Amino acid sequence: MYVNNGIDNEIRFLAQSEIRMKILSELNKCPDNVKGLVKSTKITYSSVSSNITKLEENNYIKKVDGIYYVDPMAKIYFKTLIDFKKSIEIIKNYNSFWDKHNLKLMSLDSMRNINDLKNCKLIETTPIDIYKTHNTIKKQLVKSKNVKAIFPYLHPEYPKLIEGILKNNGSVELILPKGIVKAILTPIDERLKRDATGRGKLKVYPVRDDLNLYLTLCDDTMSLGLFKNDGSFDQNRILISDDKKSYAWAEDLFKHVKHKVVL
């Protein structure tokens, strides 16, 4: 089964057969016999039997005392394929978010673990509510005490929002293009800003180059925005989530960007 020149054939062997995938999925949960698989998969006896034979011939499963088990290496292969299919589904579900957008700052791990975003919600502006994305982000910032953010552009409300978090004894960690650092920080009360900086409550990391990624981590929620390939920020759509896996994914991306581009 595991030969270098047969990888493509192996992928096709599994991916092109929903029956084989379903059988492997059931056996991965619990070893079973043919009759049990017919019952759990709702597939005809003849189809289960013929595909069981193919899976056994290709060493994906083995039979012991009438019970079929998934081969240990096949479990790894199967999980990898399932993760890949889930990633494709996420990209398709949020096609308008990912398609024709700049992903250069996305780490390899971010792309590999993109299925961690499966519980995200796509927020899009409408002709009736053209500020829907910004207002969604604003609500997250207003009610949060601890914020980490990548702000690639200057919005007139950012200084006030940051000041509000600091007044509430919260903490703010920002990655900003060098050109907008002064514009964001200057309007904030000087004494508050100095005190927060001294206590490690305000950390600002300037970036020499333009950022092509928007990201916030607000207490237990995250939001993600992208730039289009033409260099403009897509203000019409963001992904948001309060799911733990999505939040951890966003936190890893923040660390990656901080390590990669901060001066």
Residues 176 and 257 placed together within one structural domain of the fold: yes
By residue range, what is the domain housing residue 45?
Answer: 4-82
- The three-state secondary structure class of 102 is strand
Residues 157 and 209 placed together within one structural domain of the fold: yes
Can you list the alpha helix ranges (DSSP code H) found in the chain?
7-15, 18-29, 34-41, 45-57, 72-93, 95-98, 108-112, 132-142, 158-167, 181-185, 190-198, 244-261
CATH number at residue 243: 3.30.870.10
Residues 109 and 78 placed together within one structural domain of the fold: no
Residues 250 and 141 placed together within one structural domain of the fold: yes
Number of neighbouring beta carbons within 10 Å of residue 22:
17
The answer to the question of residue 90 being in a domain is: no
Residues 212 and 251 placed together within one structural domain of the fold: yes
Count: domains in the chain: 2
Residues 230 and 111 placed together within one structural domain of the fold: yes
The answer to the question of residue 132 being in a domain is: yes
Residues 120 and 227 placed together within one structural domain of the fold: yes
Q: Please check whether residue 208 is in contact with residue 263, taking contact to mean a CB–CB distance below 8 angstroms.
A: yes
CATH number at residue 65: 1.10.10.10
What is the per-residue pLDDT for 255? 93
Residues 34 and 129 placed together within one structural domain of the fold: no
Residues 106 and 78 placed together within one structural domain of the fold: no
Which pLDDT tens digits describe the chain residue by residue (263 residues)? Answer: 444 444 556 666 766 678 888 888 889 888 999 999 999 989 999 989 999 998 888 888 899 998 999 888 778 777 777 777 777 777 888 888 998 898 888 887 888 888 899 899 999 999 999 999 999 999 999 999 999 999 999 899 999 999 999 999 999 999 999 999 999 999 999 999 999 999 999 999 999 877 899 999 999 999 999 999 998 999 999 999 999 999 999 999 999 999 887 75
